[in-house]
Chain A
């Protein structure tokens, strides 16, 4: 906290979901000036839907944090944190993963550390979030909330307005900058307390709770994520593009280690096209089929297995043998005759 900070100014982590919106409204009601902070991790489901253009209605893909800022007249700063440091947390989290590839405690600590720096930069006195005690299994039980507060260096300056009366009093409460008695005592996974508050505030336009919007909590993504890490050399530093690719298409790992990625529809094929530069690309001769990529089909044995998968998802899947052209960076300077893989085989190799 800087010497010229304002006691009634706070930085709020704002996703635009119901909880962070309510937390913001509770503090605005107490006369606190709120500056919103929203983190772009690169793993947001909505951002991904935008990227592959699967949703045509702009309102359904709006940035909810910006929408919330607009509704409440709160400026929202979006911070892109998908950098080397963040990717390092994803691959080697100090506090481990949740049920999928979600290192929620480390991720939250990282975000709140950023928020602390921003708090100092804008002369705010504390940080708040819409977290609810006991709502999420990994990141919102009491011990996790304490770890995140400690790891971020926000000791005493991290307020969770929705559950505040169930938690230890924070500096803004002790100093009287906010009235603890007007804060919430919501806990658990039930949304009843939030719905009551929403009704009290006359809130009707907010995204329906969907259990998070992060790819890292998706089991299918997690399978691909773990497979990716397993096949990298220990000194390789993953890039964001590596993880971006894990979100799209069907992914296969053959018994000899060759990887294949097959687009599922036109939008995914379009998305995969941008990765041709550093992949082997496969195309079935004379039959329509999806774009098929492989990062490691560098010998004929591997290429033949990937070609078989490409053939399996082409219109030539019933043929006894098809020709498949392939090459590095989509040059198609090589050709193999293969039998399309059987559905049982591709199912066994599918990463899901």
Chain B
């Protein structure tokens, strides 16, 4: 069964959101997803880059109100 979790890094500046995401991804299984809530605007460049380098799937990243919501699926 695939699990869906969320990670709230509001108020944290990059690279902390990326470090927290990487820690979370380590304990996830392939197919699991995590929803990241962040308000550092730099997340729009750092999150896609991290996913790309790690071969993880960035399902979507959008701005909602004053923060960003990213959905990442663990591929392997």
Q: Are A63 and B53 in contact (CB under 8 A)?
A: no
Instruction: Tell me what chain A mostly uses at the interface: helix, strand, loop, or mixed.
Output: mixed
**B17-53 vs A, Cβ < 8 Å mask (1 yes, 0 no):** 0110010000000000000000011101110111011
Which residue of chain A lies nearest to B48 when distances are taken between CB atoms in the complex? A70
B48: A residues at CB distance < 8 A: 70
Q: Are A80 and B16 in contact (CB under 8 A)?
A: yes
A74: B residues at CB distance < 8 A: 53
B42: A residues at CB distance < 8 A: 50, 58, 61-63
**A22-47 vs B, Cβ < 8 Å mask (1 yes, 0 no):** 00000000000000101010000001
CA of A66 to CA of B49, assembled, Å: 6
Q: Are A78 and B19 in contact (CB under 8 A)?
A: yes
Interface size on A, residues (CB 8 A): 24
Which residue of chain B lies nearest to A56 when distances are taken between CB atoms in the complex? B41
How many contacts between A and B, using CB within 8 angstroms? 68
Q: Are A75 and B14 in contact (CB under 8 A)?
A: no
CA of A72 to CA of B55, assembled, Å: 11
Q: Does any Cβ of B come within 8 Å of A296's Cβ?
A: no
Q: Are B45 and A78 in contact (CB under 8 A)?
A: no
Chain A interface (Cβ within 8 Å of chain B)? 36, 38, 40, 47, 50-51, 58-59, 61-63, 66-67, 69-70, 72-80
The 8 A-B residue pairs with the shortest CB-CB distance in the complex, in nearest-first order: A69-B53, A70-B52, A66-B49, A70-B49, A62-B45, A75-B54, A58-B45, A78-B15
Known pairs A67-B45, A73-B52, A74-B53 / 5 extra A-B pairs, C-beta < 8 Å: A40-B15, A63-B49, A69-B49, A77-B22, A79-B19
Q: List 7 A-B contacts (CB under 8 A).
A: A62-B42, A62-B49, A63-B14, A63-B15, A63-B18, A67-B49, A75-B53
